[in-house]
Structure 1
Amino acid sequence: MTAFWRRWMGRRQVVLSLGEGAELRQLTMQDAPSLYELTVRNRERLRRWMTWVDFVNSEEDTRGFIRESLRNFRSGRSLQMGIWWSGTLVGTIGLFRSASAEPEAEIGYWIDESAEGQGLVTRATRALTQYAFEHWQVPTVRIRVEPDNVRSRAIPERLGFRLRGEVEEDWADGSHRTLLVYVMHASDFEKTTP
């Protein structure tokens, strides 16, 4: 993974090269129209796994999300990135500091249906995991997925994350969900990285 900073409107923007025409770019306000369109296009498919999609009803909602993401980045709490493939925004991936007592980071992701099966989310997750270990210096990165989300589960399993167990959560839409928790420790990541 090659990490570099790009200047955007007088600010530094995190960019991670994934190779083969793909990269992760920190989301900026300029990305709001593309991200909103991508969300609308994938709303029905994502609704099953991600309740937040029903709270994104306008481009302004998307701008609010990006604004909050940039604020959280400046305070060191999260890094929200777009997955770009051949110059087109095809998904997002985020890195979040855990609110738990353990110093962990968590990764969450989604991708446009048309870009599935290209290895983009696997490469993006590997790159962001490495970023968390190198730049945030956390000992553990975790990924939480629903048990029946087979495509999403395949990502941490493919990368060598270990299944830690299950956690039950109440979601914003009032539903109660059981999630699988996968973890990668920094020492194990060094052994699994090519």
Structure 2
Amino acid sequence: MFTHMINEKTKLKMLDLRDSEQLFGLTIGSKETLREWLQFIDYTKSVVDTQSFIQSTMKQFSENNGFQAGIWYEGNLAGVIGFHKIDWNNKSTSIGYWLGNDYVGLGLMTASVKAFVDYALKELMLNRVEIRAAVENKKSRAIPERLGFTEEGCVRQAEWLYDHFVDHVVYGILSGDWDENMSN
């Protein structure tokens, strides 16, 4: 099971069913903010829905197709980060993430994404990590920009959010670029 200490206050830990109550509470407590960019919020109506999500992430892990981790700050669940899937043939993956309202602005997501990219490129020996974010989602876009990802383009009308399409900016980083960025 994946666990990674970022610093004395922050760790990443693969989600398991014991996290259901806390994850549900965090999701519902941040519903209005998260809903702007994440459709799954409307489908999370009970702890059972959260348990189903966690079970699907456990299946993802058992199939060697990545995993989802809780971001824990001072002992509290602050958000979620995970691999969407792993393309082993092409040695690539993509990362998704979100934080609860009370944990925004603490540097948690930048540190978490950095740890996930390190894990993907150094432990899993992948070559490419991608992050996509809606063009208007400035906070989410700031993470790959801060970490030296290359903005590779825009996918028009990439996602249907409730009543409209949004375009996605695609960011990517290659293993060699990451090594170079992290050594500077």
Residue in structure 1 matched with residue 179 of structure 2 by the alignment: 190
Identity percentage of aligned residues: 32
Residue in structure 2 matched with residue 135 of structure 1 by the alignment: 123
- 1:39 offset after TM fit, Å? 0.4
**CA 1:101–1:164 in 2, change beyond 3 Å: closer, same or farther?**
farther
1:50 pairs with one of 38, 57, 64? 38
Residue in structure 2 matched with residue 149 of structure 1 by the alignment: 137
> In the comparison of the two structures, how many residue pairs are matched?
182
Residue in structure 2 matched with residue 38 of structure 1 by the alignment: 26
Matched, 1:161 2:130: no
Structure 1 spans left out of the alignment, 5+ residues = 1-12
TM-score scaled by length of structure 2:
0.93
- 1:102 offset after TM fit, Å? 4.2
Q: How does 1:99-118 map to 2 (within 5 A)?
A: 102-118=90-106
TM-score scaled by length of structure 1:
0.88
Matched, 1:70 2:58: yes
Which moves more between the two structures, 182-191 or 100-109? 100-109
Distance 1:98 1:16 in 2: 19
Distance 2:136 2:8 in 1: 30
**SS of equivalent to 1:67:** helix
Provide, for residues 128-187 of structure 1, a one-character-per-residue CA deviation record: whole Å limited to 9, x for no partner: 001111232221001000111111111000000010111132447574221000001010
Residue in structure 1 matched with residue 48 of structure 2 by the alignment: 60
| Aligned-partner residue type, residue 142 of structure 2 | A
Residue in structure 2 matched with residue 84 of structure 1 by the alignment: 72
Distance 1:37 1:91 in 2: 11
Residue in structure 1 matched with residue 10 of structure 2 by the alignment: 22
Residue in structure 2 matched with residue 8 of structure 1 by the alignment: none
- Cα pair 2:44 2:50 within 8 Å, conserved: yes
Structure 2 spans left out of the alignment, 5+ residues = none
| Aligned-partner residue type, residue 27 of structure 1 | L
